[in-house]
Amino acid sequence: MDDAFEVRLNRSGRTVTIPKGETILETLIEEGVDVVYSCMAGHCGTCETRVIEGTPDHRDSFLRDEERSDNKVMMICCSRSRTPVLVLDL
């Protein structure tokens, strides 16, 4: 599932389109959104972000299986979306 999708930033009210082949983190940086990150590979957990709505496509190696199945947090540096829209606590 590498199609483009939308990310709604709950705190600012902005909506950003994440294109095919680009991570949420990359797009947010390009859009000037202030986000905290480190490894950019899903290993460290620095970019962990709360998911308010939608279903992430988890591609990290940091979250435990139960955290992935809860779909309450995601690593925006590498994970994408299984739904057309994700609402994130950013």
Task: State the CATH number of the domain containing residue 65.
Answer: 3.10.20.30
Over residues 52-77, the mean pLDDT reads 96
Q: Give the three-class secondary structure for 35.
A: coil
Host domain of residue 45: 5-88
Q: What is the per-residue pLDDT for 63?
A: 94
Q: What amino acid is encoded at 45 in this protein?
A: G
pLDDT tens digits for range 31-59: 999 999 999 999 999 999 999 999 999 99
Alpha carbon distance, N-terminus to C-terminus of the chain: 23
- The tally of domains found in the chain comes to 1
| Percent of all residues in the chain with a pLDDT value above 70, rounded to a whole number | 99
51, 5 Cβ separation under 8 angstroms:
no
Token reading at 35 = 């986000």
Q: Give the three-class secondary structure for 80.
A: strand
pLDDT tens digits for range 6-20: 999 999 999 999 999
Q: What are phi and psi of 69, to 5 degrees?
A: -70, -25
